[in-house]
A and B are shown apart, each in its own frame.
Chain A
Amino acid sequence: MTDKRMTEDEVIGELHSGMTLGIGGWGSRRKPMSLVRAILRSDLSDLDIVSYGGPDVGILCAAGKVRKLTYGFVSLDSIPLEPHFRLARQAGAIDVSELDEGAFYLGLMAAAHRVPFYPTRAGLGTAMMSENPDLKTVKSPYDDGEELVAVPGFQMDAVILHMNRADAKGNGQFLGPDLYFDDLFAMAGDKTFMSAEQIVPTEQFLSEGSVHTLRIPRSHVDGVVHAPQGAHFTECPPDYQRDEAFQSEYAATARDPDAWEQFREDWLELESHDDYVAKLSERRRNAKAND
């Protein structure tokens, strides 16, 4: 059986500038942050990002890595407005294709199922239509003849996502309350790279969750990265909750370019994820000592 384990930097070697990259998770929840940081320290640029966006989008925008963004929303959840995304929008720095959250789900599903579009009523009469001139409607071929929005499938050259558990073959398991749309992302990507909190023997999956949690089958996964704390500072329950203090510090850097540069140097451009985890442990020890 193929062993698909690889490092973050090996994943970066599979990506290229100008590509369309899908990112799993939802807002500030179970985002593949160790892979996002690996993109940051690489020379990849001009990326087209497809995401239910959180800090993944904010960080990549702030670092100037994004050419175009296709999104359902961008939020830090406990902080409703992603501040770095806001700056990028207000500077007109990125091209955008914003869809209704549910319409975005249909774009993922159309790509996963290899059909050109899925129809929906969502978007009619709103800015979703007027601000997406490429978005077309389609007339039902049946007697009702209803006019519907045809949400096109998102062609994605590669997808990155983060799971609670994976095996070396590329099967993935979520243990939190919501899979979000990661199964569709995995199917839709031409190549899919999945990081996980733990790489476990296949036979160990069911000791932690029911069969219903085994939602990423290996046939859709090209590489598996062992990344404990790999979603930090976003939440990854039950392994850990969101690091709200850290997220607040990140958000505050949007008010001060120097603070952003410092944060980027301190946390986002460390040489490896191991260095990040070590630095995080040190931060937590210090925080405890100061309690």
Chain B
Amino acid sequence: MPKPMIDDATLDEVCVVALAEAFRGDGELLCNPMGPVPVIAGRLARASFEPDLMLTDTIAFAIEGNLALGGDPSAAVIEAYLPFRSVFDQAWSGKRHVVMGASQMDQYGNQNFAAIGPYQRPKAQLLGLRGAPGNLINHATTYWIPNQARAFSATVDVVSAPGYDRIAQLPEASRRHFEIRRVVTDLGAYDFETEDHRMRVRSLHPGVTLEQAQEASAFELAVTGDVGESRLPSDEELRLIREVFDPDGVRKAEFR
């Protein structure tokens, strides 16, 4: 269970807010998070500071309003029909920002959730490539990694989504829509806003030191200037997370 932090906010709630912050400035993009913490984060971003976001019910519709996690989507107002085919169309059109996970990630943001070990005969088959190759090359992507120490690796076994070094080898036309907006972990928030696009510490969650974050990474984390602290949820954000979006506390299971 996440330990309570300052002002009663727990780690899971700080992570939700850090992920929600990744959507700031997105306007009318389709926010397509997967898994409990990212879904809550997307809904929180729209309810608090990014009101024009489009959100899915995770089935086939874009919906209005503040749907709870696992809530009955038939109670929500449908504003657009987005079957899987349209989601691909939407992705390729660029009007989308997705949140994905990562079993491994290296310092340039190369991501693997496909398989561990050699691809042709993996030691552990995981999710596979899924939509990762198409997402990264078409629109903004943010990663949610609840266990940084396990995931931050020197190299990845399979590249399911490309990082900045691999993208740099492609022609300009292929590169232009690529953006890893943010990586949020149980320890902090990271971006790639360095000259050579190596992963940089953007903020650390309350109580986490730079040494701890570095220790939980197989590669060197870039640091520029003073590293700030991830912001705490406002009272209203806390209320929304706890009472509206996730009254059953499903989000906390991701930290076990």
Chain A positions near chain B (C-beta within 8 angstroms): 26, 71-75, 80-81, 85-86, 89-92, 98-103, 105, 120-128, 130-131, 144-147, 177-181
Contact = CB atoms under 8 A, between A and B. Distances in A.
Given A126-B161, A127-B119, A121 B137 contact: yes
17 contacts: A81-B126, A90-B124, A92-B120, A100-B133, A102-B131, A102-B134, A105-B88, A121-B134, A121-B177, A126-B159, A126-B160, A127-B114, A131-B158, A144-B173, A146-B173, A147-B174, A177-B60
A72 B130 CA distance: 6
Interface residues of B, number: 43
Question: Which 4 residue pairs across A and B have the least CB separation, nearest first?
Answer: A122-B134, A125-B162, A92-B121, A146-B173
B169 interface: yes
Interface string B126-147: 1111111110111000000000
B83 A131 contact: no
Nearest to A178: B83
B171 A147 contact: yes
A228 B11 CA distance: 48
Given A125-B159, A128-B133, A80 B174 contact: no
Contacts of B158: 127, 131
B91 interface: yes
B30 to A, nearest CB: 14
Given A81-B125, A126-B161, A101 B131 contact: yes
A222 B181 CA distance: 48
B56 to A, nearest CB: 12
A128 B130 CA distance: 10
Contacts of B129: 73, 98-101, 126-128
Contact of B174 (A91, A121, A131): A121
Contacts of A73: 127-130
A102 B130 CA distance: 9
A103 B123 CA distance: 26
Contact of A85 (B125, B131, B136): B125
B69 interface: no
B125 A101 contact: no
A179 B83 contact: yes
A279 B185 CA distance: 48
B154 to A, nearest CB: 18
B158 to A, nearest CB: 5
